Amino acid sequence: MKKLQALLWDVDGTLADTERDGHRVAFNRAFQQMGLDWDWDVELYGRLLQVTGGKERIRYYLDEFNRAWERPSDLDSFITELHRRKSQLFVSLMVGGEIPLRPGVSRLVNEAKQAGLKLAIVTTTTPANVDALLRQYFPAEGRPVFDLIAAGDVVPHKKPAPDIYLWALERLGLGADQCAALEDSHHGLRAARDAGLKTVVITVNGYTADEDFSDATLVVDQLGEAGRPCRVLQGEGRVSGMVDLGLLRQLHDVS
């Protein structure tokens, strides 16, 4: 295994708990704006997360959960407009500071940056959502904190397909054996593993805690920070309360 050179970060559920209190809320507000009586409650949204990508998720909802709804003649344009509004509403929630980073994220990002590792965002979400999160929590003073943003529709197939990881690896000029991924979901794990990454750390959340992570390198409840140690749910290695760079290097060297 080659030396660890980069950390590849998923966004939704990993950098921040965006799904339940961010995307879901923004979808429901967009439905209201467009006069739709659809309501994606916490439980239904968990089932809709089966499909990644907001536009794809709306279509899945109509196909599987709301077949009775009379579709407009141009459904594609309707979904595009609905999703455009949803994205604006999500960005408002993010810049309003209503969606905090998960514990330990800042700590590990800063540690990796200082150590000279490359940092990349590898996500299914819309680029504007990532920009809002980065502006909010990692404002660039000179050089941006993240070296690459791989997001949204730049590849035809979203996670669990490996495409977005392969796209990111090519642009970083690195091999899969030089990178570690941080993800929160089975779909994310599949995407990273199928792109060839051996080191994949999972931080679970309410929606993903019961998913299958059997081929993850390490599964924790969160990355851990001072006064808030992480709990190891699966995996080997000496974890002393935090997933830090030393631990990631150690996991990477043996994976």
Binding-site string for ligand XBP from residue 157 to residue 186, where x marks contact by CB under 6 A and - marks none: --x---------------------------
Calpha distance 221→104 (Å, rounded): 11
- Report, in Å, the least distance between residue 104 CB and Mg ion: 16
* CB-closest chain residue to ligand XBP: 54
CA distance 191 to 209: 18
Instruction: Please give the Cα distance from 96 to 18 (Å, whole number).
Output: 13
Q: Which of residues 79-98 bind ligand XBP (CB under 6 A)?
A: 87
Cβ proximity to ligand XBP, 12 vs 225, nearer residue: 12
Minimum CB separation of residue 41 from ligand XBP in Å reads 16
Helices (H) and strands (E) in the chain, counts: 10, 7
Query: How many CB atoms are located within 10 Å of the residue 75 CB?
Result: 12
178 binds, among ligand XBP, Mg ion, none (CB under 5 to 8 A by kind): none
Among 53, 103, 104, 160, binds ligand XBP (CB under 6 A): 53
Helix (H, G, I), strand (E, B) or coil at 129: helix
d(CA 195, CA 208): 21
Q: How far is the CB of 83 from Mg ion (least distance, A)?
A: 18
230 touches 220 (CB < 8 A)? yes
CA–CA dist 238, 240 (Å, integer):
6
CB closer to ligand XBP out of 163 and 225: 163
Tokens 């299958």 correspond to what residue?
212
Q: Kindly list the catalytic residues.
A: 10, 12
CA distance 176 to 197: 5
Give yes or no for residue 208 binding ligand XBP (CB under 6 A).
Answer: no
* Binding segment (CB under 6 A) for ligand XBP, from list 4-12, 105-113, 131-139, 207-215: 4-12
113-152 residues near ligand XBP, rule: CB under 6 A: 123-126, 129
Residue 191 CB, nearest distance to ligand XBP (Å)?
Answer: 8
Distance CA 42, CA 124 (A): 20
| Binding site partner of 17, from Mg ion, ligand XBP, none, Cβ cut-off 5-8 A by kind | none
Given Mg ion, ligand XBP, none, residue 159, with its beta carbon under 5 to 8 Å by kind, binds ligand XBP
Q: What is the largest CA-CA distance in the chain?
A: 58
Q: List residues near ligand XBP by CB under 6 A.
A: 10-13, 19, 23, 52-54, 87, 123-126, 129, 159, 188
